[in-house]
Every structure is written in structure tokens, then in C-alpha cells.
Amino acid sequence: MNSSSHLSPPKRISPSRSRVPAHYADDIEQMLISAPRIRSRVAEMAKVIAGDYQGKRLVVVALLNGTILFLADLIRHFEFPLSMDLIGVSSYRGGTSSGELEYTKRLKLDLRDQHVLVVDDILDTGKTLCAVKSELAKQRPASLRTCVLLDKPEGRKTECEADYVGFVVPHLFVVGYGLDYDERYRNLPFVGVLRPHVYGAPAGSKS
């Protein structure tokens, strides 16, 4: 498959003082990306992806759990038949080893000769996406591309980059729109930064 992607470069998001809805204000310090902004960028991404896969049968493989909202919103724009499967992975954090993954849910679909788009929530070190890509590549898909909503380039420890990127975010721990802290905040309709007290740091410290 040729690389004919015309997605406009992802906007670099800087921490702003956008108003956090009152009912989240105790836990969320800043709103980074508002719901309407996410909505329009996801629509833009879907349009470009749909164009790139025109006439092809797409297999979407999404990583649990952080992609749930992004995935649901993205694929709803596609007006062509596609197959979808989910994989669950958790990386061995803290180790020096090369992004070895533990699978909590394995893929059911056979990817051989298929056009595969891997969807993840956020690209940080790149270890997860790199490891998943090389695992899926073993099945010999016809093409294999990656799509992430968020990218934190300052965190990168691998050569892994995504083909489609929604937003470039600062090197902060973000939650919302599928992303969690301790399994909370996935349901937030926006992406925000947690207040330090939520993860036990003294007030005024930085994440």
C-alpha cells in the first residue's frame, strides 16, 4: 500500500487554562483538549483514513482499554464494511527490557493478507506499539499501519512512530476520553491533566 496520507500535521497542544467543568474541578487541573476539538480532529482523521483505504477491506485492531472512546468515535465515521478486533496488552513497566508485552486478550481474527490498522490511545515510549506491530507483522498482513489519538514525542524510547496522529501533547500524565488513572476518568469527554493530590503528590508538585 502506498503512503498517500494527507492528514494535516497534528496540533501541538499546550497546557491551557480552559475551564474544567465544575464537577471535575477537584481532580482535574487543566483541560488539554476539549470535547468539540477531539470530535473535529477525529472526523478529520477518519476522512483521511477512509480515503487511504478506499477499495480495500480494512481490519481495525484496537488496544484495550484506553482506546474505547476513540475507537467508537473513529469507526462510526467509516461508511464501508470493516472487521474489528481488540487486543489486551500490558507492558512490563520499570524493566529495562525491550517492551515485552503480556497479553490479557489475544486477537481472534486472522490477519494474513489483510489491510490492518492498529489503533491506540497514546504513543509515549513507543514500546507498546512497536511490540504490537512486530507481533502482528508475524501474521503477514498485506499492510500494517498505526493510528493514535495522542502523541508524547518527548517520551519516546524507540524508533516507533504512528502513521496517523490526532494531537501532540506535552510530557504530562493525561486522562480522559478513554485514558485512565487507576481505572478512573476514562469516561471524561475531554483530555485533561490530573491534580497531583489525586496520585498522592503534595500540592504544587509537577507530574
Total binding residues toward ligand 5GP, as defined by CB under 6 A: 18
Q: What's the min distance (Å) between Cβ of 102 and Mg ion?
A: 13
Amino acid code (one letter) for 107: L
**Interface residue with ligand 5GP, options 45, 60, 74, 123 (CB under 6 A):** 123
Set 52, 120, 121, 124: catalytic member: 124
Q: Is 114 in the site for ligand 5GP (CB under 6 A)?
A: no
How many Cβ atoms from other residues are within 10 Å of residue 132's Cβ? 24
Residue from 13, 61, 165, 175 in contact with ligand 5GP (CB under 6 A):
175
**Which residues have a Cβ under 8 Å from the Cβ of 99 and sit 6 or more positions away?**
91, 125, 126, 127, 128, 130, 131, 158
Applying CB under 6 A, the span of 4-12, 24-32, 107-115, 175-183 interacting with ligand 5GP comes to 175-183
Using CB under 6 A, which residues numbered 21 to 80 contact ligand 5GP? 66
- Residue 122: CB partners within 8 Å, gap ≥ 6? 66, 148, 149, 150, 151, 152, 169, 174, 179
> Is 124 a known active-site residue?
yes
Q: What does DSSP assign to residue 43? A: H
If one asks whether residue 135 binds ligand 5GP (CB under 6 A), the answer comes out as: no
- What are the distances in angstroms from CA 18 to CA 31, 34, 193? 6, 8, 12
Q: Which residues are catalytic?
A: 124
Residue ranges in contact with ligand 5GP by CB under 6 A: 66, 91, 120-129, 173-175, 179-181
